[in-house]
Structure 1
Amino acid sequence: MNAQPALCVVSYNTLNGGRDPDGSVHRLTDQVDMLTELEPDVVCLQEAKHWDKDGGETVNEVAAALKMEARLAPSASHGCHLVTLVRPPRVRFVRFYPDIAEGNFHHAVSRADLRVEGVHAVLRVLHTHFDPFDPGDRAAEARWLTQYGDRNDTLLVGDLNTEAPGDPEPETWDWLPATQYSNNRIQHPDGSYGNLDKTAMSALLTAGFIDPAAALQLQFARTAGHWRDGDRGHRSDYILPSKHLSWQVQTYTVIDTPRTRSAADHLPVVAHLHRTR
């Protein structure tokens, strides 16, 4: 029997920082309520737009509401900052690096070295948001991270804007405007388009990162695609342990409910991990 309770990790893209175009924060309020109910130990939030304003007021407010400690990683594009939160005293930051790729990502990739209560080894959480526009850029971003795939201490968390090998291909392309084919599809040398470009995820998995949904033989569950009529359900959001991580994923869940569908264009992904050694 495991001496420690499972470690709960959540990845969630908030969509424009939880704010609507009119500035209202009802979605953010609902998001914080939903996260509170999950009782997470580690939370990785993407698109924390405007959260850096006024000395990080929103970061501090969200952290206080969740009873967690937060670190912000500024995004290089569109103000889509990353926020990593941990719940003391069980989990604490040892070190935090806002951008380990030195500005080479479309958004950013942060690294949090965490100490889990009762565990000597540090848990390293890489938090990122891959380029939504260019499969080539996503592949390049993945290459930055493949060095971590074979480690025994790393979780890769975030919105990777790519689907995984084995995820279903679209039956038609009616859902996607032709102007967005280059964002999502393989482009052949002659300029024609093929299937979805999954190169970035393929590189990460080949490097050693594990897709818990595949490892646990779970049925396909979308993490995005519910927000707009005519869109298709697809995966974009992941919690990927490195090959030899000393924490094993027990459960891996996408929270797909009417409430989460109305709160953002992505759905929360939740992993419960237990210590194996």
Structure 2
Amino acid sequence: MADELRVVSWNIEHNGRGRNGSDDHRDLARDILAATQPHLLFRQELTGAGDRGRADLYAEANRLGGLIPFMPVPQEGRSNNPVGVMIDLTLFLIDGYFEHDLPWKPICNPRIRLKGCAKPINVASAHLCHFDPDLRATEARRLTTLADNSRSALVGLDANSYPHRTELESVALPDWDKVKDPVHYQHRTIERDGRRVSDTRPDEILTGGTRPVFTDLGLHAGTTLGQPGALAATASLKRTDQGPAQRIDRMYCTPDLAPALISFDVLATDEVREVSDHALLLARFDLGILRQVLTPTR
């Protein structure tokens, strides 16, 4: 385990606080995360984590062995569920911190370096807008800037939209004639060729075309590495009125980092389901290969 990098991404529903103050699962959520021993953690729905001097944010970081947490401050009139990134300083140095301000929710983007390596990595947590497909496309285009000028990047997000390589997925896209929730239909579909279809545009922007900006780690593990479980659905683990669960939570990296991927797991245990309506994603990378990529040849 000393020669691997463990990266986790998890949308913890309302930060484990439960809806309307019911069922506080924050301690259980931290126990689940601690068991994965993450060096990098991408979080979504850090609801209330900025209250009382960011007490919940630091409590989670402390429970994970003293990771350094980053989180944008929610703005009045926008989402109250910020994203965050937590970083293990035994492996990384921090070169900078950026917040990409967007109309609904900022992207949290530290820039880090593996110790002993020259090339930095843009790491980012994002939670694409749940109600506006056009804004999701804008947010995805913003994420592509992390890879500008041949930069390396690693992203964890709740995409609130679908993978575009549908023929490779283990779960079919929703049959919208059977989805009971009319609001969900408006939020998750776009018009193409005169009909409404599932919104796959963010994934197309990030990974589409002959020269993709990013590699979908779940898809890479499920195909190149022969790990079909990496393509399991991630959300919703609870609701049934929005069609079957889909692979809306994903991790992406720039193609230079993909050869270092060892495994990609979608964890939806009973404990995970008790805490959240989203599965936990765990990616493991070979540190030796990463160091070769991130240390230029002299």
TM-score above 0.5: yes
What are the superposed Cα offsets for residues 201-233 of structure 1, whole Å, 9 maximum, x if unpaired? 101103420012222214330111211234411
**Larger helix fraction of residues:** 2
Change over 3 Å in CA distance of 1:187–1:246 after alignment to 2 = closer
In 1, Cα distance between equivalents of 2:80 and 2:55: 15
Q: Which amino acid aligns with 2:246?
A: H
1:186 maps to 190
Q: Give the Å deviation of 1:189.
A: 7.2
Using structure 1 for the length normalisation, give the TM-score.
0.89
The match for 2:70 is 71
Structure-2 separation of matches of 1:226 and 1:141: 25
Q: 2:234 — aligned with what?
A: 223
Alignment-derived partner of residue 153 in structure 2: 154
Deviations 1:156-193 (A, max 9, x none): 22111111112422245423412322211122575x42
Q: Any conservation in 2 of the 1:161–1:236 contact (CA below 8 Å)?
A: yes
Which deviates more, 82-91 or 57-66? 82-91
* 1:230-245 → structure 2 map (5 Å cutoff): 230=241, 231-245=243-257
**Offset at 1:105?**
4.2
Question: How far has the Cα of 1:26 moved from its partner?
Answer: 3.4
**Runs of 4+ displaced beyond 4 Å:** none
Question: 178-187 or 167-176: which moved more?
Answer: 167-176
Partner of 1:94: 95
Amino acid in the other structure paired with 1:158: L
Which residue in 1 is equivalent to 2:206?
A: 204
Gaps of 5+ in 2: 293-298
Query: Taking structure 1 as reference, are residues 63 and 188 closer, same or farther at Cα in structure 2, changes over 3 Å only?
Result: same
Identity %: 20
CA contact (8 A) 1:105 1:131 kept: no
C-alpha displacement of 1:131: 0.5
Shift in Å, 1:243: 2.2
Give the equivalent residue in structure 2 for 1:163: 162
The offset of 1:75, in angstroms, is 3.8
The answer (yes or no) to whether the contact 1:74–1:82 under 8 Å persists in 2 is no
Contact 1:158-1:237 at 8 Å conserved across structures: yes
| Structure 1: gaps (5+ residues) | none
Q: 1:175 aligns with which of 172, 179, 196?
A: 179
